[in-house]
Amino acid sequence: MFEEHRREPRESLAMPVKLAGGVDAITRDVSPSGMYLEIRGNPGEIEGALFFEMHLEEAKMKFTSEGRIVRIEQHDDFTGIAVKLLSPKLEALD
């Protein structure tokens, strides 16, 4: 039987995210301390930290954060990236 090791519950949520450098990603799941992103194809060498921005249009808010990569999974047509949020910030869209 699989034992869950997560400290916080995750919510399945598919939202577009823009990574630094203009790379588009989609969230697969999100928790208060981290998220899992999927990028089409193989983006090359990714390690260390990611900077990203997500617009929450209905709420007229913007979510930005730096995330420390904790896991990368290569698949045939996408790359999955698990990140721990380091500096999450939610602010009004201009």
Domains within the chain, CATH numbers bracketed: 11-92 (2.40.10.220)
User: How far lies 17's CA from each of 4, 44, 50, 56, in Å?
Assistant: 27, 18, 11, 10
DSSP state of 87: S
Which residue, among 20, 27, 13, 12, has the nearest Cα to 66 in the 3D structure? 20
pTM value is: 0.80
Whether 62 has a pLDDT exceeding 80, the answer reads yes
Which band of pLDDT confidence, cut at 50, 70 and 90, is reported for residue 2?
A: very low
Round the average pLDDT of the chain to a whole number and report it: 86
d(CA 58, CA 43): 30
Mean pLDDT of 43-58: 82
DSSP state of 57: G
d(CA 27, CA 38): 6
User: Which of residues 42 and 68 earns the better pLDDT score?
Assistant: 68
